[in-house]
Amino acid sequence: MSIVVQKYGGSSVADVEKIHRVAAKVVATRERGHDVVVVVSAMGKTTDELLGLAHAVDPSPPRRELDMLLSTGERISMALLSMAIQKRGVDAISFTGSQSGIITNDRHFDARIIDVRPHRVEDELARGRVVIVAGYQGMSYKREITTLGRGGSDTTALAMAAALGAEHAEIYSDVDGVYSADPRVAPDATHLPELSYDEMQEMAESGAKVLHAKAVEFARQHRIAIRARSTFLESGKETVVHEGVEPGEQVRAVVGQKGLARVSFDDGGEKVGFALGHLRKAGVVSRDLRTADGRTELLVVTAQTPDWEKNAKALRADFGATIEEGFGAVSAIGGAGDPALALVETLAGEGLAPTELIVTPVRVTVVLPEADTDAAVRAAHARLVG
């Protein structure tokens, strides 16, 4: 039988009723003749609640203990889903990340998968069981529990699919795939049936939330297709991310991101290298690093960065960084011609003034005041995607 790897996000397993509905989908997949491995996130807002508890005890909790705490969220959902599947008469077993063979480096709170040894998963599949795997977590080569950072369950699913030889991974959430913009911001956004790895990764790094950038990179490296689907909507739609998508003439999507801080260093060299090393070690989520005329700049996603105020203070005091907050970014993904000129002209026509323009082979990004982000997304989408 072919192996199907499915991942269900926190909104899909947010309560007991939804867990039973997911169990029904898993059983239906099993009854179609597939071996099924299911990767689950923590229920609903569990991870945020656990983070809140940790910070109530210690505003800067030890990363090792934070990983021990946060890893319990997926243990709850994996066990409950296994129970719900067994209640339907199908044998199932749940495994933690370490039991599943997810091996990571030793960076707590933002670990990277370095190997997958799914021997126990394969043994249980051979016994005819559905295997439930806790997403977002693994075990370091030092035998410590680690977590993979935000969106880590997506990466778990892709890593498990690669290790088991699956052709694709099915990623389920509360939306039926990827749209040309956030429909809550741009009501004229349209569904995208397929995207290239490059396009999807640029969208994820620019703030789109359907798939995580690290998972897309993992899929690209191992040539695994991603099928992004809705858990409960019966629209029949999906977005397939794969390597066979040819670049088109038109911009594919417009993505907005809020809560950005611009961090800059006036002198280059060794001090900047130490500062960037500090950012990586501290788990600071950043994007768009660039250097020109002896000045190094990057954008920090403050909402996704743990202890941002503490890190900002250290960057100023120890590395002489200049930090400006209150920015947003709008990115046009894909497209031939000159989308940069069209984007800037469009925003100027709306009275919106970008403070910065960033161009990559697949993306054009403007940085602007955070309050203008949504209006800029709507205007850019209407002009560039239409």
Pairing of strands 295-301, 102-104: unpaired
> In terms of C-beta density within 10 A (0-12 exposed, 13-18 middle, 19 or more buried), how is residue 168 classed?
middle
For residue 302, what is the DSSP state?
G
**CATH numeric code, 253-384:** 3.30.2130.10
E strand or H helix that includes residue 344: helix 339-349
Q: What residue spans in the chain does CATH classification 3.30.2130.10 cover? A: 253-384
Residue spans of the chain under pLDDT 50: none
Helix (H/G/I), strand (E/B), else coil: 246: coil
Give the Å distances, CA to CA, from 360 to 2, 230, 331. Answer: 39, 31, 10
E strand or H helix that includes residue 364: strand 363-369
- Dihedral of CA 64/69/70/75: which sign? positive
The pTM (predicted TM-score) of the whole model is: 0.91
Q: What residue spans in the chain does CATH classification 3.40.1160.10 cover? A: 3-174
Give the contacts of 340 (CB within 8 A, at least 6 positions apart): 357, 359, 364
DSSP notation for 32-96? TT-EEEEEE--STTHHHHHHHHHHHH-SS--HHHHHHHHHHHHHHHHHHHHHHHHHTT--EEEE-
Give the Å distances, CA to CA, from 79 to 11, 67, 205. Answer: 17, 19, 32
Q: Does domain 3-174 have CATH number 3.40.309.10?
A: no
- pLDDT at position 268 is 63
Give the Å distances, CA to CA, from 257 to 100, 121, 301, 331. Answer: 34, 38, 9, 9
Angle between helices 63-87 and 46-57 (to 10 degrees): 150
Residue with tokens 């091996």: 103
- Dist CA 75 CA 140 (whole Å): 18
Cα atoms in the 13 Å half-sphere on the side-chain side of 237: 16
- Dihedral of CA 240/241/247/250: which sign? positive
> In terms of C-beta density within 10 A (0-12 exposed, 13-18 middle, 19 or more buried), how is residue 127 classed?
exposed
Helix (H/G/I), strand (E/B), else coil: 162: helix
- Dist CA 380 CA 335 (whole Å): 13
Q: Is the separation of the CB atoms in 59 and 103 below 8 Å?
A: no
For residue 158, give the nearest of 347, 322, 6 by alpha carbon.
6
